[in-house]
A and B are shown apart, each in its own frame.
Chain A
Amino acid sequence: MNTTSVTAVESTYRLHGQLSSWRLGVLVVALVVAMPVLTVFGFFLQPATDAWQHLVRTGLRDYAINSLLLMLGVGAGTLLLGVSTAWVSATCEFPGRRVFEWALLLPMAIPAYIIAYTYTGMLDFAGPVQVALRELFGWGYGDYWFPNVRSLPGAVVMLSLVLYPYVYLLARAAFLEQSVCVLEVSRTLGATPMRTFLRVALPMARPAIVAGLLLALMETLADYGTVQYFGVSTFTTGIFRTWFGLGDAVAAAQLSALLMTVVFVLILLERWTRRQARYHETGTRMRSLPRHRLEGWRMAVGLAVCFMPLAFGFLLPAGQLLAWVVRTAGQMLDADFLRITGNSLVLAGSAALVTLLVGLFMAYGKRLHGDRLVQGAVRVAGMGYAIPGTVIAIGVMIPFAWLDNTVDAWMRARFNYSTGLLLSGTLVALLFAYMVRFLAVALQTAEAGLGKIRPSMDEAARALGHGPLDVLKKVHVPMLRGSLVTAMLLVFVDVLKELPATLVLRPFNFNTLAVRTYELASDERLADAASASLAIVLVGIIPVILLSRSLSHTRRRYE
């Protein structure tokens, strides 16, 4: 049934003769966005260096195993935390529910490397907790067992704590938008609430949950700060080691290409398991889900489920940061600090806007033309999310510098005038890198939103004589408002936290909060870095609160 309607839509488009222009646009944009990724893949064509022999003999096994374990662990952790909190806060009623709804997003404002620093500061052998334990019981080294924060399990916990909001956010929205009818049918057929959750609600929310999970996993693969600080060898640390330590850029780029292949396979696998299933609903919601009131021990469990991620993912680390800030604020807060905060805000805001527009353009192009070429192009364009920021930065730097130098050489030869570097080392290059790195966030969110809009909507609008752009503006964008705001805010927070690409590509005399944090923290001045860290967290909270407002807005519309 779906296939026939899609064909009908396509034939309408052909009548208007716009099929190819939008398609061409998507392909061109995809090519430009994929340029950094393709640049890295281009290194595959170069002959393998002897660094490979060395890698295969020594580190490669570790990199692969650790990266895999890290992904499995973070996958399980974010699913557990994200889905449980989403379900409880979307369908149950208990004291404090309204606060938890938005507060559960707060850990997203904390960069993974910062949560890693704070927990290490607190729980390490020389940290206050273990020192207190030793003083209390008179223990010495080796007398007792204490979990080591700086380990693979430690990294799994840290990353899960700050990445679960991706799953929570998308899963919750999916639960809230589910048709009451379907859930009630399940209940009237005699299913328990648990069974309804497992057999109906969860499968229906799957695209959203998987979209959130993919984001979390890609972010995990790209993480450098946490694993490097914890001494866990993953693909990312391997790339840096090969490049900087062995001085072999080719082998390092080939490692990155290998990493990207893994991501690609992951995405294909997910598509394949979903195959032909469609997830848009035929009914319209008439009213919101009736909330299940929790009482007694059930309330305690519900509260615990929501409070734990919030406490460990936000309250505790933010509290530690605050304690450090109190000690060091006098030296660290100056006029420069304000300027840096302004830089971060402007940069994150403009990157979010650009990324959203491109993401929407491509997601919609994919909806219009589901052919393989377009689908593949959109996939490739979204791969930047799993690639370490430094690698993206190099992938941006090489083509930009090539373009600049080519233009310059031509101008010199032709007009005896040097144009110098037009784009390299400017904010344009930096914004482009952000877009490449975070396009997946906007794409995933926009696609998940578009997937829920029935094609008959498009058909109706098209039958009334509107072109694709008009349909997008008048039909989809208003319906997608929630998803688009979500996408934009997610990108905003991500850019705010982004470090490696910013560090490499930024213009002269241009600092951001993340750069300031890194410079102090990597000099092992954690307490001094706390002011900038906390500022990232605080600025990151603003969009998180906006996000939660738009969430409750969405809900109220349905109520």
Chain B
Amino acid sequence: MNDRFDYPSARALCGLLLILLALGAPLRAAELNVYSARKEALIKPLLDKYSAASGVTVNLVTGKGDALLTRLQTEGRNSPADVLITTDAGRLYRAHEAGVLQKIASPALDAAIPAHLRSEQGDWYGLSVRARAIVYARDRVQPGDLSSYEDLADPKWKRRICIRSSSNIYNQSLVASMLAAHGGEKTDAWLRGLVANFARPPVGGDRDQVLAAAAGQCDVVIVNTYYLAAMLNDKSAQREAAEKLKVFWPNQNGQGAHVNISGIGLTTAARHRDNAVRLIEYLASTEAQTWYAEVNHEYPIRSNIPVSKTLAAMGKFKADTLNLHQLGQHNAEAVKLMDRAGWK
């Protein structure tokens, strides 16, 4: 009597469990499963277009890149994911190292995407380019005083620079590219000089740096240009702030401005390989590339696609052609150097 099990509710629980399982593991043929570190708003419209054109149902989970990668790793060969989309090359490199990606083998993609923006092994491709530029306050900085990232370590910029935390992947990638170009010692010295010039301890995101410069807290900031472009297209006070600043393309006489990519890899566990490759080819197509450029102000992966008006106004620039897997290779060392330099 005392320990009698409540059978109707137990049955209901089992039923619920089965329904949940059924919901969790759909096994229809024409479909494709996507793990994406790109936010839903910045990828789903493209996936929807692909679905409509191909008749393939695309299932999506978004999340942070490392967490998705961990999920992919623990799920192993049974992982439902067919592709992994990330917002930087470092994570794709890490996925490659973890052995969860396989060769895509698409001559069309090899032809469309420059060699330094994809993996040497052909298991991931860049889909859009993000530039990390110097942005300065028009009323307080002469563009002639600016030249390169390296120059920002000069004492003349003391208490004039704002940049976000070193926990941010774009800063880690920037430092990784410096490591690739100059080696540990020089990068270490550069970092110490740069940190000494900070106007404030790093807080907030890229837009916050732009706002701080517009309000006069600092004169020079380092940000990804699509943030600035989004602010310039905003209706609120953000636009006003962004208009007080201007982009300077650094290192134009040297290796070029630092760029990263958002990209995509094909998983080892992929069960819908053909659909996956077709999706990747679609994302590199002119239609999708134009969308990236117009909606999120990212640079297309191919140079023959027009950029948004806002980006066009920022001018053409020479981009660093460092092979991007090097950003992944140098990431951990970059973080250590930033820690040692006191970059919070």
Contact = CB atoms under 8 A, between A and B. Distances in A.
A246 B332 contact: yes
Interface stretch (A72-80, A169-177, A425-433): A425-433
Contact of B20 (A243, A390, A427, A527): A427
A140 B241 CA distance: 15
Interface in A407-458: 408, 418, 420-428
Interface in B91-105: 94
A404 B204 contact: no
B25 interface: yes
A503 B64 contact: yes
A368 B236 CA distance: 62
A369 to B, nearest CB: 16
A422 B24 CA distance: 8
Size category, B interface = 35 or more
A278 B321 CA distance: 71
A267 interface: no
Contacts of B60: 508-509
A243 B172 CA distance: 14
Contacts of A422: 21, 25
Contacts of A420: 25, 78, 80
Contacts of A466: 2
B167 A229 contact: no
B314 interface: no
B63 interface: yes
A125 B213 CA distance: 10
Contacts of A398: 74
- Of B20, B24, B25, B241, chain A has the most CB atoms within 10 Å of the CB of B24
B227 interface: yes
Nearest to B218: A141
Nearest to B67: A504
Given A59-B339, A519-B41, A467 B3 contact: yes
Given A390-B67, A519-B40, A428 B17 contact: yes
Given A125-B215, A125-B217, A244 B20 contact: no
A126 B214 contact: yes
B202 interface: yes
A283 interface: no
Nearest to B19: A427
B111 interface: no
B319 to A, nearest CB: 23
Interface in B1-60: 1-3, 17, 20-21, 23-26, 33, 39-42, 59-60
B30 to A, nearest CB: 15
A398 B73 CA distance: 9
B198 to A, nearest CB: 12
Nearest to B168: A245
A228 B1 CA distance: 53
Contact of B167 (A240, A397, A503): A240
B71 interface: yes
A124 B68 CA distance: 33
A241 B335 contact: yes
Interface string B265-281: 00000000000000000
Given A126-B212, A245-B332, A426-B21, A229 B1 contact: no
A100 interface: no
A231 B203 contact: yes
A244 to B, nearest CB: 5
A237 B70 CA distance: 18
B17 to A, nearest CB: 7
Given A245-B332, A519-B41, A426 B20 contact: yes
B132 interface: no
Contact of B39 (A125, A130, A505, A519): A519
Interface in A520-536: 520, 522-524, 527
B63 to A, nearest CB: 5
B25 A506 contact: no
A18 B241 contact: no
Contacts of A244: 64, 66, 167, 169
A524 B207 contact: yes
Contact of B67 (A59, A124, A418, A503): A503
- Of B42, B204, B206, B241, chain A has the most CB atoms within 10 Å of the CB of B204
A258 to B, nearest CB: 18
Nearest to B90: A247
A155 B138 CA distance: 34
Contacts of B309: none
Contacts of A418: 78
A54 interface: yes
A511 B40 contact: yes
The 10 tightest CB contacts between A and B, nearest first, are A467-B2, A426-B24, A508-B59, A126-B211, A245-B335, A401-B74, A231-B203, A141-B216, A58-B339, A524-B207
28 contacts: A21-B3, A58-B340, A126-B208, A150-B204, A243-B66, A245-B172, A246-B336, A247-B332, A394-B67, A397-B70, A401-B74, A402-B74, A405-B76, A405-B78, A408-B78, A420-B80, A422-B25, A425-B25, A467-B1, A503-B67, A505-B71, A507-B24, A508-B26, A508-B33, A508-B60, A509-B59, A524-B206, A524-B208
Interface of A: 18, 21, 54, 57-59, 120, 124-126, 130-131, 140-141, 150, 228-231, 233, 237, 240-241, 243-249, 327, 390, 393-394, 397-398, 401-402, 404-405, 408, 418, 420-428, 466-470, 500, 503-511, 515, 519-520, 522-524, 527
